[in-house]
Chain A
Amino acid sequence: MSHHLFLLSPSDTPLYSLTHYSTKPIPSTGSALTSNLPSWSTSAFAGTLTALSGASSATQSHHVQGGAARMGGGQDRHVIQMIANASLDVVEDVMRKDGAMYLKSVDKFNEWMVSAFITPGNMKFVLLHEAKNDDGIKSFFNEVWELYVKTMLNPFHTAHTSIRSPVFDARVRTSAKKYL
């Protein structure tokens, strides 16, 4: 099961992204509709369509059940990013009415659930996950927030600077391992 974390600046630019593969099994989708997908066209555009509709990711996840083989992008990274970006619509809508920082499972698209965390500075942490894990995600977000705030203490760091600190990265990974 994989998780994708994106830290988005107010101008929708990702400042940090993380793909985390946990050892937990993927909950089976259980639908016949997603299986036996035909390869209906060979053109490049069909490939885009297949990827965007989530077909390729679904087939991939069916093909390789083991965790190790999925490394290196079983899921199309571009599609993941598109989904994260698209989910911002819902996140922005919901955060306007809901004062909470943690928006759990605010959106669902193509098997992906999207949870978000809005900092007071209008940074958005977007997490794509496949299974419900509300408490874990909440704790994870809180830890990431703390790490982010510590990064922001750097006077040279603005809301639009991408985070390249290896320490930040390592700690977020640890936290992901712990909660996700």
Chain B
Amino acid sequence: MSALVTGLGVVAPNGLGTEEYWAATLAGKSGLGPITRFDASGYPARVAGEVPGFTAADHLPSRLLPQTDQMTRLALVAADWALRDAGVRAEELPEYAAGVVTAASGGGVEFGQRELQALWEHGREHVSAYQSFAWFYAVNTGQISIRQRTKGPSGVLVTEQAGGLDALGQARREVRKGVRLMLSGGVDGALCPWGWVAQLATGRVSEAGEYLPFAAEASGYLPGEGGAILVVEEAAAARQRGAAHRYGELAGYAATMDPAPGSGRPPGLGRAAANALADAGLTAADIDVVFADAAGVPELDRAEAAVLVDLFGPYGVPVTAPKSLTGRLAGGAALDVASALLALRDGVIPPSGPVREPAAALRLDLVCGAARPAPLRTALVLARGYGGFNAALVVRAAN
């Protein structure tokens, strides 16, 4: 029994909608720029990936607007688009046949900050009643399931960048248990002062305003908003209903935790990658491309490169980091999975954004400059979440 992705919905800083995002990504068009959503002039880092040209009222009913943060609006639209792409009307499925599992890092932080400010400045009677759930980290899963009338198994994963992969891993479990369809992935973002200082506290955000993973001049990462929602179905059921798109199978998945700092034991990313390959029944030689976690922090880039060299050998597999065009999205690496599936579809590896070349010592075949055409059957997606989370997902082209 295999779990197949049959629909994609993408909302990204460099493109609204799957095809716009993908065209921009292949062309190396960046969605990173000076923050406009709040006055960031007083902060040490001032560049992020904002989703441009998104007017929620064009896509969502007015009932939903007073009760949603920007990131929930983006998630609801991504879910709409994913289902439309899959050609499925979720409300036509039996009541408990579909579920939602998404990744979140923050929740409706921008909404929450506004209401907390109202509380302090004007008093409790000025706080929106919708604050009760609009800033809750599980709100996207809840709002998507209400809008799509899906009452099947649902949940939320909070493992920062690893979350997008962990959510898809959970969606795969549910499909294997017999759930007809899962909406999964992650769309999050908190481009407001509160969300921004939480990012800055990691000490990993680039104050130079550049996100150049694996480059010798790497200076940290840049955060972004948006992400991707994917439709996951059991492969035979998808074939039976004549699904228009069969982007690929979630063939292998694994997650690990890093050991406690100071333990001297190695981080868990390598084990996650090896376990995901084993779970897919594949060896390293079967993998055609890696979508890297690409932290952009020299020490973390070295650690990831070491894992890749250990698994594949020096320069042993094409590696790419298209997130350097969007920033690291708080909904986790779900967008990387969408990108990997689009790469399989089109037989092309997107470039690592603005990175000109990887640091020589890393011994990586990093795809830089231009997209690289290649026959692709499988991709490995890696993600590390702040706090020690590691996840790896293998996608394989549908037969």
Say whether A associates with B. no
Q: Which residue numbers of B lie inside 8 Å of A, CB to CB?
A: none
A residues contacting B by CB (< 8 A) are none
